[in-house]
């Protein structure tokens, strides 16, 4: 019985394909709604998921399991943001780095940075709006600055405040023509001659701002404080937790450490902010989940239109094959076989429309990847969703016509032909 069922279903699918091919215009009009629906749903999911993936990757690049200690709360501002309150807070100090390490057992690395935005020159070439970063020895353990040419700063250069820097690839290309030519040269930074020890590997544009190392200069904190006003150079302390510690546990311990360092009594408010990178990640996930739902609703409306189109073609197909249905039932075909073959045909039709829609989404990803300069890709999950959605729509669209065919009286069906 199993082999016979498979044979009947196989013949039905073959017949369905022949009918679809013979009535190309009708097939196209029926597929169009499904194709547009899948294009909308999977297209939106693909773009949104790719954007979220890229943003989450950039957030993680700020430091995994890392807390940023600052006077400012990184909540995004807004009309209710209490600027006056945070403005009065003391800025983080370099001397607090050692105290944090001594008081916080769950701290693996403690980084410190000050930064300004200024010009940099080499001979007659001048670049504006370049990020100057003055950092301590452990900054690289949290941010992992990869060097493409030359080397990173040495422990001795950090300790003595040597006038040595590493520069971003964009700075190297614009000042020297290529990164290879930059190593060993001297650049002019705020009236000082600094030796270029290395060039940072290209990272590309960031969607969330980030460090933008391509257009930056990194130097030791001990040298940077000679050319920057530390109080106006956005000082920040970064604390990375131990591998076995969660950011929540790290944040709780840092709260006690910082209150102790700032000598705050139990009744006093915090005069510092502990900004957890994982909180940013959770906020992004929440925002994008709303976009996914909105995109699914928009695509779902298009898909409903396509569903009615497929249902219509299935009603026409049942009417055209009334005689065949009668003959099959007369020679012993069960109701479930007739029902199954029409449901499979409806699902087959929807899957074809879905695959066309998926192909259009793929072409869209190629266009957007080049236009936006970051990867847009179709995930395996979205491919699976395409198949499941098309299968579900096909079953829903075909259930009534298939039931109608399965319950036909064979004698009446044969005579109607």
In this structure, what are the phi and psi dihedrals at residue 191, rounded to the nearest 5 degrees? 85, 5
CA distance 52 to 39: 19
CA distance 296 to 367: 22
CA distance 233 to 110: 18
The DSSP line for 245-305 is: --HHHHHHHHHHHHHHHTT--TTSPPSSEEEEHHHHHHHHHHHHHHHHHHHHHHHHHHHHH
Q: Which residues of the chain have pLDDT under 50?
A: 1
Domain count, the chain: 2
Same domain, 253 and 114: yes
Same domain, 125 and 171: yes
Same domain, 119 and 245: yes
| Structural domain contains residue 66 | no
| Structural domain contains residue 316 | yes
Same domain, 265 and 286: no
| Structural domain contains residue 82 | no
In this structure, what are the phi and psi dihedrals at residue 40, rounded to the nearest 5 degrees? -70, -50
Task: Provide the pLDDT for residue 1.
Answer: 47
pTM to 2 decimals?
A: 0.72
Same domain, 118 and 257: yes
Same domain, 217 and 167: yes
| Structural domain contains residue 78 | no
Same domain, 247 and 328: no
What beta strand segments (E) does 123-185 contain?
Answer: 125-135, 147-150, 164-167
CA distance 81 to 200: 36
Which of 271, 290, 321 is the last residue in one of the domains?
A: 271
Same domain, 42 and 110: no
Same domain, 98 and 246: yes
| Token pair listed for 303 | 């898909």
| Structural domain contains residue 200 | yes
Which of 241, 271, 301 is the last residue in one of the domains?
A: 271
Task: Provide the pLDDT for residue 348.
Answer: 81
Same domain, 207 and 286: no
Same domain, 225 and 325: no
Instruction: Provide the residue range defining the domain that includes 54.
Output: 2-58+282-416
Task: Provide the pLDDT for residue 415.
Answer: 66
| Structural domain contains residue 198 | yes
Q: Sign (positive/negative) of CA torsion 163, 150, 155, 57?
A: positive
Same domain, 261 and 331: no
**Cβ contact 238:69 at 8 Å:** yes
Which of 271, 303, 335 is the last residue in one of the domains?
A: 271
| Token pair listed for 392 | 């579900």
């Amino acid at each position: 019985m199993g082999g016979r069922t498979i044979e009947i279903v196989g013949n039905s699918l073959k017949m369905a394909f022949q009918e679809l091919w013979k009535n190309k215009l009708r097939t196209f009009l029926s597929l169009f709604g499904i194709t547009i629906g899948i294009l909308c749903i999977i297209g939106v999911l693909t773009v949104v998921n790719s954007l979220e993936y890229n943003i989450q990757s950039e957030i993680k690049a700020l430091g995994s399991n890392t807390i940023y200690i600052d006077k400012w709360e990184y909540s995004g501002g807004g009309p209710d943001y209490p600027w006056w309150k945070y403005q009065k807070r003391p800025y983080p100090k370099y001397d607090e780095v050692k105290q944090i390490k001594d008081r916080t057992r769950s701290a693996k690395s403690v980084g410190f940075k000050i930064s300004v935005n200024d010009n940099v020159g080499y001979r007659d070439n001048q670049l504006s709006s370049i990020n100057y970063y003055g950092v301590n020895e452990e900054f690289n353990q949290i941010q992992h600055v990869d060097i493409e040419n030359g080397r990173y700063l040495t422990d001795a250069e950090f300790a003595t405040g040597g006038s040595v820097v590493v520069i971003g690839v964009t700075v190297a290309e614009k000042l020297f023509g290529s990164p290879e030519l930059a190593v060993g040269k001297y650049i002019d930074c705020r009236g000082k001659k600094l030796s270029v020890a290395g060039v940072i590997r290209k990272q590309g544009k960031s969607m969330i701002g980030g460090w933008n190392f391509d257009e930056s200069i990194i130097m030791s904190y001990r040298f940077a404080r000679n050319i920057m006003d530390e109080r106006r150079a956005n000082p920040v302390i970064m604390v990375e937790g131990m591998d076995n510690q969660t950011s929540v546990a790290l944040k709780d311990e840092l709260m006690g450490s910082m209150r102790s360092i700032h000598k705050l009594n139990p009744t006093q408010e915090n005069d510092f902010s502990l900004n957890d990178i994982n909180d940013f990640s959770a906020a992004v996930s929440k925002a994008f989940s709303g976009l996914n739902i909105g995109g699914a609703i928009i695509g779902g409306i298009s898909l409903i239109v396509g569903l009615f189109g497929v249902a219509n073609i299935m009603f026409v197909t049942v009417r055209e094959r009334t005689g065949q249905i009668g003959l099959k039932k007369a020679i012993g075909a069960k109701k479930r076989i007739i029902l199954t073959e029409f449901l499979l045909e409806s699902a087959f039709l929807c899957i074809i429309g879905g695959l066309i829609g998926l192909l259009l989404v793929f072409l869209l990803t190629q266009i957007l990847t080049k236009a936006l300069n970051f990867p847009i890709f179709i995930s395996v999950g979205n491919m699976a969703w395409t198949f499941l959605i098309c299968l579900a729509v096909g079953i829903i669209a075909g259930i009534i016509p298939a039931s109608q065919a399965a319950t036909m009286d064979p004698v009446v069906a044969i005579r109607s032909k």
